[in-house]
Amino acid sequence: MRVFLYYSFRFVIYHEMNHSGVEHMLFDDCDSESDGGEGGEGGSDDYGMLDTKWITEYETRLMYDEYRLFIKTDITTLKFEFYYLDCNKSCVERIVPVKYILRTPNQITQDELFSVVRSYQHVDKKYYNFSALLFYSLDFLGGGGGGGGDVDIELQLSRYIRGSGGGGRFIEYTNLLSIDTIYISPILTMFHDVIGFSVLLYED
């Protein structure tokens, strides 16, 4: 008698009877596909089934996230960078990055700006005066409506990647009281982290 043992998700024991020439194949009861009703009325033999649903869901989510990077979406957060200058405004002592969640998508009010700036004017028992607020935005024109709009986006996007502009611009505010509400147009999701403010503060 020769016995062969094979491992995968099932055990197969093969018996070859030399004296009779009869061959028997024995499958274990756990995951036999031919186990119709012997394992209970419902024939619940899910032990051998590998659940791949999570893989499909994960791949779908990845594809959606990648697609979303290249469509215009609302701005819901803005990046602030606080530059702390010495009293002569000749040296940057430190830089503090801050991420701010907008109360209303695509806009920030004077009240919000005041609140954010005031929250960071005291550092290490020092008071820093407001000097200037620089707002950086990307204005990609067009936007998929046909008639050459897509070409505008492609041109400006390629210019931005090459570092030759591409619709980016700085707006300087030296007086927060002159600001009512700053409106920001929805842009490609991949550029959301670029939009934001640089706040210049100097030591009193």
Q: Show me where the domains of the chain are located.
A: 2-50, 73-203
* 56: DSSP letter: H
What are the pLDDT digits (tens) for 5-64? Answer: 444 434 444 444 444 444 444 444 444 444 444 444 444 455 567 788 888 777 777 776
The pLDDT score that the predictor gives to residue 16 is 45
Cβ neighbours of 192 (radius 10 Å): 19
What architecture does CATH give domain 73-203? Answer: Roll (3.10)
- CB-based contact 9:29 (threshold 8 Å): no
For the question of whether the overall pTM of this predicted structure is more than 0.75, the answer is no
CA distance 67 to 88: 48
